[in-house]
Copies of this chain bind each other. A is one copy, B any other.
Amino acid sequence: MPSPGSTPAQPGRRPRGRPGHDRAAVLRRAIALFNVQGYDATSVSDLAADLGVTKSAVYHHFASKEDILAAALDEALTELDALVAAAQAASDRSARERLEETVVAAVGILVEHRAAVTLLLRVRGNSAVEQAALARRRHIDAALAALVVEAVDEGDVRADVPAEVISRLVFGMVNSLTDWYEPGGRSGPAALAAAVRGVLFEGLGARSRVS
């Protein structure tokens, strides 16, 4: 609850740029806590204590804990929506080309927004906010699966595995980055994207021995 003298939380319209922690910093720390100790186990008091601010400072930026979760999931979903829109827009190019570019771009999103995507991938639908996020995720998954179907239909992706399974395997590999990618590790984002694209589209075989 707002302390005396602070601006009460007003859903839908909150001032920004307050001294101390800005909205983005609060969101970043909240996502980290949700990922480490779980959304249910994290209270706004925990977040405020972690940030070294009062609860009212948190409520200055967000109306509720669920509002923070919604913003966190929106960060990942907005990027993924844009990815899908780009893949669908460039319909003058082959589906295979667009699929390869989508994989590369998805790796970039997972590296840059790793924490938010990790949170999204763990959502199980326990609230209205989570259910809305799952619905958006299903829409994205369906669009990516449709792109694989197109590429199979155009003869550029193997037809001996159901397109739906291919789509799951491709984005299963991409999503696995949230489990193991370490920022600042030996493979930078560009090398990583090239590796994922190469392994997926060319296979693991040594180049000289690919039959």
Contacts and interface: CB of A to CB of B under 8 A. Distances in A.
A92 interface: no
Interface residues of A, number: 47
B206 A203 contact: no
A192 interface: yes
B169 A195 contact: yes
A158 B177 CA distance: 20
Contacts of A206: 152, 155-159
A207 interface: yes
Interface string A23-38: 0000000000000101
Q: State how many copies of this chain the complex holds.
A: 2
Given A173-B169, A180-B172, A198 B162 contact: no
A210 B210 contact: yes
Most chain B CB within a 10 A radius of its CB, from A156, A162, A203, A211: A203
Interface string A150-188: 001001111111100110111111011101100000110
Contacts of A207: 158, 160
A50 interface: no
Nearest to A178: B172
Contacts of A161: 195, 198-199
B205 A201 contact: yes
Interface in A84-123: 121
A201 B158 CA distance: 13
A67 interface: no
Interface of A: 36, 38, 40-41, 121, 124, 152, 155-162, 165-166, 168-173, 175-177, 179-180, 186-187, 192, 195-196, 198-211
5 contacts: A38-B38, A158-B198, A162-B187, A162-B195, A210-B210
